[in-house]
Structure 1
């Protein structure tokens, strides 16, 4: 997963989930199969009740099966599947059941801990329910209630797109997941990131892990992994800016007994003051607080006062040498540890302050 991007300071356009796109294609394909006519656009109802229209493209039409595609529009969200081609192939059966199959570019679930059983295509429950609902409605409208439908979802270049996600770490191989709970993509949504945190912890637990390695993103994880080479990727979780929600999930998961947390200086300066959401749009570091922290750590006024002239927390290294012995950083880590342990008091927590050059400071207080 990429490091978090800054949220643009402009109005943001919403988009549609892969699940909504797959549902639109499924509806167009089934209607086209039954009527033997081309469907150029179709409307679906999203789980939030909104009716939306999708343009659909006919890929193939026979009396046996039909395939339609649409281009996913993620709005202004930096989604790896933005502009991806999602397609659905449908065929009628005599079983009366709605079956889902994995086409090219859709992931296969290979590890326990997810909402979908091992061996199933990575099509989440809400998209499945959406597709099943439109199929049942169409079958009923055309007096074909005794028939079933086989739905095969594909994503063009999905296997390549999945390399830019954490799917493989979650045991989802060979492609992306078909996702969505509302049908809408909210740009830079905290809900989707928090869901990925919770999912990652669930998968780690389901695969017998009791120790987690948590970091803000891929860069800091690489640094901390050098200290813990024995920790499997499946036990590594990116908390992004959502420290509160990460530790709440850990607290709700008694199977997790030990956590090693890596944190960069800028986020640590915010967390030390009790800000457990460290996004730059939500919180800023407080120079007066950091100044007071330096005083509490025993530094003279003339040294601590230099903090007030800094414009970035990362520049604290210009005042305090980045070493384990530097009292300021130990005081900073002590405060960070306090707020994390306050949320999850039963877990053994080890904190590591990370520098851009790969060096680290372990909490020793």
Structure 2
């Protein structure tokens, strides 16, 4: 694929690597030999092949490992050694899965797997089972233990702990393919965070664009960790999922620049999707009562942060009208009288500089520009 004029390589999910390792290990278990290369079939029909990074046999088991190649995606699991140990199971047991070292275990409800299960998601389990069937013939009773070298450390860079997945990473993938910079893993983590919060019976979740706003909104509302949704730039992705999986109270918290972009109608607030319109921000300032000189200075500012600083020095509460406009953008997505929506705007120091209070998201009356 091509992004910004550069050809980017696609890669393989942890689920695909686990399936390839499992197929190689199963082949060694039933035939006594490891393949030079191992192919697996993905949900879309593709058949990638992999070289083994490690192989081992012992009494009643075989073990193989694949090094994950995420292509050109900045995936935290890129280069990880994904291993599968396959042994024969009890008659009639079918294929059972275990979490080896470096693979997490589910401890909270709301995820695709119940508490107590190894965090090997349903699609990877299906790919693994089909891969084993290709080499095992009529044999169907196997125990498959997936492990990941340094998986516990890698998991610290993910949201697994917040989701209640403890002990390592998750084995993931819906297509088996990693598309560079698709951010699908992030979107799915937003969805799973909402699922966990709903399963825990929470009535209030808060999506934040970054660490500063997340810490600030947690302190502002005294929220438990599982109520915090790391939505990053994907405001629209979070809101659309909440529209179909509602929670009574939703807070969106972010810095002045990203909330200004939301106020200007952008649901993806990444800098690559466009910059905030400073002239439009200057018009908001004028409608909020800014003097003509201040309006000109805001329009000519280098950044939104500078514009807010100029407004602050002049005593103009620019954050409130921006929060109200951001509320309107977000409410159009939710459109649900049972979901009360709040917007909180923070500066770089985590100080609250603007707020649109909880209001049903189908509210027909426009919020005022200033409060």
* TM-score w.r.t. length of structure 1: 0.91
Deviations 1:252-290 (A, max 9, x none): 233x11122211111112111111111222222112211
- What residue in structure 1 maps to residue 33 of structure 2? 37
* 1:174 is the counterpart of 2:167: yes
- What residue in structure 2 maps to residue 303 of structure 1? 294
Question: Cα offset for 1:154?
Answer: 0.3
Which residue of 214, 224, 235 maps to 2:227? 235
Instruction: Name the SS of the counterpart of 1:353 in structure 2.
Output: strand
Question: Cα offset for 1:86?
Answer: 0.6
Change in CA separation of 1:124 and 1:91 when aligned onto 2, cut-off 3 Å: same
Instruction: Name the SS of the counterpart of 1:270 in structure 2.
Output: helix
Question: Cα offset for 1:226?
Answer: 2.4
- What residue in structure 2 maps to residue 153 of structure 1? 146
Q: Distance in 1 between matches of 2:215 and 2:257?
A: 18
**Contact (CA 8 Å) 1:40, 1:58: kept in 2 or not?**
no
Q: Distance in 2 between matches of 1:50 and 1:146?
A: 25
Q: Distance in 2 between matches of 1:247 and 1:114?
A: 19
Which residue of 297, 307, 319 maps to 1:329? 319
- What residue in structure 2 maps to residue 290 of structure 1? 281
Instruction: Name the SS of the counterpart of 2:345 in structure 1.
Output: strand
Q: Distance in 1 between matches of 2:6 and 2:308?
A: 33
Which residue of 173, 192, 214 maps to 2:185? 192
Q: Distance in 1 between matches of 2:291 and 2:196?
A: 48
- What residue in structure 2 maps to residue 123 of structure 1? 120
- What residue in structure 2 maps to residue 266 of structure 1? 257
**Contact (CA 8 Å) 2:88, 2:141: kept in 1 or not?**
yes
Structure 2 portions without partners, runs of 5+: 357-370
- What residue in structure 2 maps to residue 343 of structure 1? 333
- What residue in structure 2 maps to residue 4 of structure 1? none
Question: Cα offset for 1:63?
Answer: 5.4
- What residue in structure 2 maps to residue 355 of structure 1? 347
Q: Distance in 1 between matches of 2:21 and 2:28?
A: 10
Q: Distance in 2 between matches of 1:187 and 1:100?
A: 29
Q: Distance in 2 between matches of 1:9 and 1:315?
A: 32
Question: Cα offset for 1:170?
Answer: 0.7
Q: Distance in 1 between matches of 2:302 and 2:223?
A: 37
Question: Cα offset for 1:96?
Answer: 5.4
Question: Cα offset for 1:358?
Answer: 2.1
* 1:215 is the counterpart of 2:212: no
Which residue of 199, 217, 221 maps to 1:224? 217
Aligned length in residues = 352
Of 268-277 and 339-348, more deviation after overlay is shown by 339-348
Instruction: Name the SS of the counterpart of 1:89 in structure 2.
Output: strand
**Contact (CA 8 Å) 1:15, 1:186: kept in 2 or not?**
yes
- What residue in structure 1 maps to residue 103 of structure 2? 106
Q: Distance in 1 between matches of 2:169 and 2:4?
A: 26
* 1:72 is the counterpart of 2:68: yes
* TM-score w.r.t. length of structure 2: 0.90
Change in CA separation of 1:139 and 1:348 when aligned onto 2, cut-off 3 Å: same
- What residue in structure 2 maps to residue 3 of structure 1? none
Deviations 1:294-318 (A, max 9, x none): 2211222221111222222221133
Deviations 1:47-102 (A, max 9, x none): 22211111113431135110001111112222111111110000123325011111
Change in CA separation of 1:279 and 1:165 when aligned onto 2, cut-off 3 Å: same
CA RMSD of aligned residues (A): 1.9
Instruction: Name the SS of the counterpart of 2:56 in structure 1.
Output: strand
Counterparts of 1:242-257 in structure 2, within 5 Å, are: 242-254=234-246, 256-257=247-248
Which residue of 199, 203, 207 maps to 1:206? 199
Change in CA separation of 1:111 and 1:272 when aligned onto 2, cut-off 3 Å: same
